[in-house]
Amino acid sequence: MEFIRSIRSRSFLSESAYVFLNVALAAVIFALVLGVNNIWLPLILVLISKWRVLAVRVRYWWVNIISNMVDLIVSIGYVVLLYSATGAIALQVAMLVLFIFWLLVVKPSSSKAMVSVQALTAVFVGTTSLAILAYDIDVMIFVVAMWVIGYLTTRHFLTVYELAESKLLCLGWGLVLAELGWIGYHWLFTYTVAGTASFKLVQLSLIATLLSFLAGRAVELATNGKKFKFKDLAFPALFSFGLIAILVLIFDNINVVGSI
């Protein structure tokens, strides 16, 4: 009985420490961005916080790094978006809350639905933060970065599916996002968020996320053990392409902030 109580006590303490350290990480990054108004210190802190990735034998480093890239994309994106929203404290607080939710609820989950949410979050946050920095980035670097985001998020999504074609799908979807990146770099529409100087909602990110959602839904339907029917994909397709059409045909003519 004492042994069981001891295990429960250690479990409670470890869970409490996990929650505290993650909330502290998000809060310290938030404080650094607001207090120091510098993007490099928070980025360095994010990298240091991932030390456990390398706390294994050297031969496992690469596997650990790749496995944790989705979390790293979201964490770095959090810093970039937080910094870009300087002057809009309410928006920054909302980002803080969402990042804590990511760390405590979304990131630790391993169900198919939550893995899909993790991948889509990385696509949206990664492409948005990349686009915000795009004025300082060469087009080839931008395209390669889009390919990397596509490859890594697809790889993460497919970890819950046993597919022989996983590598090919990762490479292929990376190519799709790279092509979107090339188009988006030369035709990058952004939407202003009131009260901010440089934070924008990026059309490219919304389109990439919607298409990734549709592709993920297609994979799910093709691997659920039932006969694939295109009608099952009809609603997600209409939803995704409908929103994309609204973004391209309507919002390109309203609230367009600029293009690169």
Over the stretch 185-205, which tens digit does the pLDDT of each residue have?
887 777 776 666 567 788 899
- CA-to-CA distance for 48 and 88, rounded, in angstroms? 27
CB of 79 closer than 8 Å to CB of 43: yes
Last residue of a domain, one of 108, 126, 152: 108
- The per-residue pLDDT for 163 is 80
**DSSP tag of 104:** I
| Tokens 């924008």 sit on residue | 200
Q: State whether 92 and 190 are in the same domain.
A: no
Burial status of residue 255 (CB atoms within 10 A of its CB: 0-12, 13-18, 19 or more): exposed
Q: Please state, for a pLDDT cut of 70, what percent of the chain lies above it.
A: 87
Q: Could you list the residue range(s) of the whole structural domain that residue 65 is in?
A: 1-108
- The per-residue pLDDT for 228 is 66
Over residues 170-190, mean pLDDT:
89
Weakest mean pLDDT among 48-52, 94-98, 247-251:
247-251
For residue 257, name the pLDDT band (cuts at 50, 70, 90).
very low
Q: State whether 73 and 196 are in the same domain.
A: no
Q: Above 90 in pLDDT, residue 171? A: yes
What pLDDT, in 10s, does the model give residues 216-237? 888 888 887 677 677 777 888 8
Spell out where the chain has E strands: 190-192, 200-202
For residue 242, name the pLDDT band (cuts at 50, 70, 90).
confident
C-alpha dist (Å) from residue 244 to 43, 132, 193, 210 = 32, 20, 19, 8
- The per-residue pLDDT for 36 is 82
- Grouping H, G, I as helix, E, B as strand and the rest as coil, residue 256 is strand
Weakest mean pLDDT among 65-69, 103-107, 184-188:
184-188
Q: Which is more confidently placed, 61 or 206? A: 206
Q: State whether 3 and 92 are in the same domain.
A: yes
- CA-to-CA distance for 73 and 121, rounded, in angstroms? 9
- The per-residue pLDDT for 57 is 81
Helices (H) and strands (E) in the chain, counts: 10, 2
Over residues 51-75, mean pLDDT:
86
Last residue of a domain, one of 108, 138, 163: 108
Neighbours of 33 (CB within 10 A): 25
Last residue of a domain, one of 108, 123, 147: 108
**Residues 96/119/138/95 CA torsion (nearest 10 deg):** -10
Over residues 61-84, mean pLDDT:
91
Q: State whether 118 and 104 are in the same domain.
A: no
Structure tokens at 103: 């760390």
Over residues 65-69, mean pLDDT:
89
Q: State whether 130 and 257 are in the same domain.
A: yes
- The per-residue pLDDT for 28 is 93
Q: State whether 60 and 41 are in the same domain.
A: yes
CB of 168 closer than 8 Å to CB of 116: no
Q: State whether 119 and 227 are in the same domain.
A: yes
Over residues 48-62, mean pLDDT:
82
Weakest mean pLDDT among 74-83, 126-135, 153-162, 240-249:
240-249
- The per-residue pLDDT for 195 is 62
